[in-house]
């Protein structure tokens, strides 16, 4: 009896519809007024910047991309431009588009929940809040001349000298020949993806039937790339590693 009452209430709850006029329209109207007022006040109080005329012979130091791209510009410290500037953005866009097709968890559709989709929320928040927003904040406020790190209270010294003591990973492991280093790096990178993929497929082997091979494969490769970026950052900051894999065509 009590259960039936609860069930009935739920059905009623979802069928409870309101007229858009006036309930939604007046809310939109209010939101619009507040937004326009805020924008106008902001525009009266703060002027858009206009520096001196463009001068191709005078490069400012630091030269910064627009603030919303500073996360990517910061990745340039750790990766070559072909990855940080081209492949990473493409992967971000494609990866985001794939989210609905890779996340097959039917729960949490249309309401806030953390407990029913913990992994998804963690991955997105990490990517968005840490790899995107935090890097932007760092790029805007802490990156000074020479793209060196400065604390907010430090003077932006254009002549700050930072010792370049970075070495490549194979070198750190004692590999001294070029071909040997290339082989070593290749084994490390490809091994990372192979082992990561294998572990994932082994742990999730029961899901393979229902989720499908392609889904699981794309999901784990994208995750491994995201984690790989973090690993590379840690390797550089913590162990002064420049490249993991050096080849005649590209370096990672």
Choosing from 7, 25, 199, 230, the residue that interacts with other proteins (CB under 8 A) is 25
Site for other proteins in 178-197 (CB under 8 A): none
Choosing from 91, 108, 171, 200, the residue that interacts with other proteins (CB under 8 A) is 108
Q: How far apart, in whole angstroms, are the C-alpha atoms of residue 162 and residue 148?
A: 8
**Looking at residue 68, what DSSP letter applies?**
G
Assign 251 to helix, strand or coil: strand
Report the residue number, 74 or 168, with the smaller CB distance to other proteins. 74
Angle of helix 213-239 versus helix 88-102 axis, rounded to 10 = 140
Q: How far apart, in whole angstroms, are the C-alpha atoms of residue 182 and residue 188?
A: 10
- Residue 250 binds other proteins (CB under 8 A): yes
Minimal CA–CA distance to 233: which of 138, 131, 81, 146?
A: 131
Token pair in block for residue 169 = 């990973």
- Residue 122 binds other proteins (CB under 8 A): no
- Residue 106 binds other proteins (CB under 8 A): yes
71 with 132: CB under 8 angstroms?
yes
- Residue 7 binds other proteins (CB under 8 A): no
Site for other proteins in 66-95 (CB under 8 A): 66, 68-69, 72-73, 80-82, 84-87, 93
167 with 241: CB under 8 angstroms?
yes
In whole angstroms, how close is the CB of 197 to other proteins at the nearest point? 23
- Residue 6 binds other proteins (CB under 8 A): no
Site for other proteins in 36-65 (CB under 8 A): 36, 39-40, 42-44, 46-56, 58-60, 63-65
- Residue 130 binds other proteins (CB under 8 A): no
Token pair in block for residue 250 = 């590209």
In whole angstroms, how close is the CB of 111 to other proteins at the nearest point? 5
């Amino acid at each position: 009896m009590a259960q039936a009452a609860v069930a009935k209430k739920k059905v009623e709850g979802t069928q409870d519809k309101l007229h858009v006029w006036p309930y939604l329209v007046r809310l939109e109207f209010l939101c619009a007024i507040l937004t326009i007022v805020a924008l106008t006040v902001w525009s009266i109080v703060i002027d858009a910047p206009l520096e001196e005329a463009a001068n191709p012979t005078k490069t400012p130091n630091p030269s910064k991309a627009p603030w919303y791209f500073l996360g990517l510009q910061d990745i340039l410290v750790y990766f070559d431009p072909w990855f940080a500037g081209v492949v990473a953005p493409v992967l971000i866009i494609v990866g985001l588009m794939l989210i609905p097709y890779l996340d097959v968890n039917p729960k949490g559709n249309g309401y806030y929940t953390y407990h029913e989709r913990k992994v998804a929320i963690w991955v997105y928040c990490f990517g968005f809040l840490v790899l995107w927003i935090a890097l932007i904040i760092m790029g805007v406020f802490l990156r000074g001349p020479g793209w060196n790190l400065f604390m907010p209270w430090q003077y932006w010294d254009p002549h700050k000298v930072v010792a370049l003591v970075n070495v490549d990973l194979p070198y750190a492991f004692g590999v001294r020949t070029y071909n040997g280093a290339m082989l070593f790096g290749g084994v490390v990178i490809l091994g990372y993806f192979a082992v990561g993929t294998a572990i994932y497929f082994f742990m999730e082997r029961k899901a393979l039937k229902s989720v499908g091979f392609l889904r699981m494969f794309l999901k784990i490769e994208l995750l491994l790339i995201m984690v790989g970026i973090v690993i590379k950052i840690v390797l550089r900051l913590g162990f002064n590693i420049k490249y993991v894999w050096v080849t005649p065509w590209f370096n990672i």
